[in-house]
Amino acid sequence: MISLEELLGIEYPIIQGGMARVAKAPLAAAVSEAGGLGILGGASMTPEELRDQIREVRSRTSKPFGVNLMLQSEFWQDQIKVVLEECPPVITTGAGNPSSFMKTLKEKGIKILPLVGSANQALMLEKIGADAVIAEGKESGGHIGEVTTIVLVNAVLKTVSVPVVAAGGIVDADSYNAMRAMGAVGVQMGTRFVASEEAPISPAYKDVVLRANERSTVEVGRRFKHTVRIWRNNLALRLIDAEYRGDEQEFSQLMLGALIRAVEGDLENGAFMMGQSAGLIKDILPVKRIIQNIVGKSL
């Protein structure tokens, strides 16, 4: 099977997850410069912002990078037009089905790596041409599915023949080696890169990750089919309460702009998306060190 390094033209099989509001050009370019694959979190960007950000990454690095699109975003159709014009080397897709534009992107030579939450979904996406799949377990930060990383990655590996990237709970050489031993060609990490020097977010957000233990996050919104893993703060408790009462309107109102508030450091009312792996992160490091600490101890 082709290696992730060969497929994407990168040095190390480590992808930085495309995190909305967090994964902007400084972070994505730094990860690519360090030999991984940096990804712009395109989900919340207007088409114009996306174009600017793609150009900014290109001004900072000549190495491959990617763009993450969430197919529930209000902008996604216009974002695809920008992608077709700017041609970033890689696209990852979150929520939604990329089948309607898969062929057009592939004709432009763009590699497509959809995130999957089940083996069936992975099989469907393999059939329509995914170059690899990213199996993301529910330990992850941000929007999550239902299955844990260890079960999901194993199930996906036993179902598809395209390369499988593991995501969810991976922060260090030990968790990386475990996924590689299982058969994953590489890993995608989100939370570990939130606590990086280059992440363009408030120091308070990074501090929340450092202070967390493995029980500091909660899942909210499953009842409304909008499940996210966030830090257990005051906002999280209010979200849980609204969900328990079945009040979707209040839930959505509380969530509106909550990731922006977290990025700005509002400890009370921000939705600090982060994975259970936050409990394993003890320092804020430059992305180069994060990557070297992993590949330096790979088995």
274 lines the binding site for ligand FMN (CB under 6 A): yes
Q: Residues 237, 135: contact at Cβ < 8 Å?
A: no
Q: Is 68 in the site for ligand FMN (CB under 6 A)?
A: yes
- Nearest CA to 137 out of 121, 118, 110 is that of 118
The one among 8, 28, 40, 43 contacting ligand FMN by CB under 6 A:
43
Phi, psi of 183 (to 5 degrees): 125, 0
Q: Does 41 bind ligand FMN (CB under 6 A)?
A: yes
Name the closest residue to ligand FMN (Cβ): 190
Q: Are 122 and 132 in contact (CB under 8 A)?
A: no
Token pair 């004709």 is found at 107
Q: Is 66 in the site for ligand FMN (CB under 6 A)?
A: no
> Is residue 114 within the footprint of ligand FMN (CB under 6 A)?
no
Segment near ligand FMN (CB under 6 A), from 53-61, 83-91, 238-246, 271-279? 271-279
The single residue among 88, 94, 98, 186 that binds ligand FMN, judged by CB under 6 A, is 94
Q: Assign residue 35 a region: left if phi > 0, alpha if psi is -120 to 50, beta otherwise?
A: left
Of residues 17 and 36, the one with the C-beta less far from ligand FMN: 17
Choice between 52 and 172, CB closer to ligand FMN: 172
Should residue 233 be labelled a site residue for ligand FMN when binding is judged by CB under 6 A?
A: no
For 237, what's the count of Cα atoms within 13 Å in the CB-facing half-sphere?
A: 5
CA distances from 299 to 2, 6, 110, 267 (A): 19, 19, 31, 39
Which residue among 32, 159, 175, 191 contacts ligand FMN (CB under 6 A)? 191
Q: How far is CA 47 from CA 69, 95, 110, 210, in A?
A: 11, 18, 18, 33
Q: How far is the CB of 249 from ligand FMN (least distance, A)?
A: 23
Q: Is 88 in the site for ligand FMN (CB under 6 A)?
A: no
- How many residues of this chain bind ligand FMN (CB under 6 A)? 30
Q: What is the tally of helices (H) and strands (E) in the chain?
A: 14, 11
By CB under 6 A, residue 17 contacts ligand FMN: yes
Residue 104, token pair as written in the block:
């057009």
Answer for which of 33, 126, 131, 136 binds ligand FMN (CB under 6 A) is: 136
Could you say which of 26, 38, 114, 141 contacts ligand FMN (CB under 6 A)? 141
Q: Can you tell me the distance from the alpha carbon of 259 to that of 22, in angstroms, rounded to the nearest whole number?
A: 9
Task: Give the footprint of ligand FMN on this chain (CB under 6 A).
Answer: 17-20, 22, 41, 43, 68, 70, 94, 115, 136, 139-142, 167-170, 188-192, 194, 273-275, 277
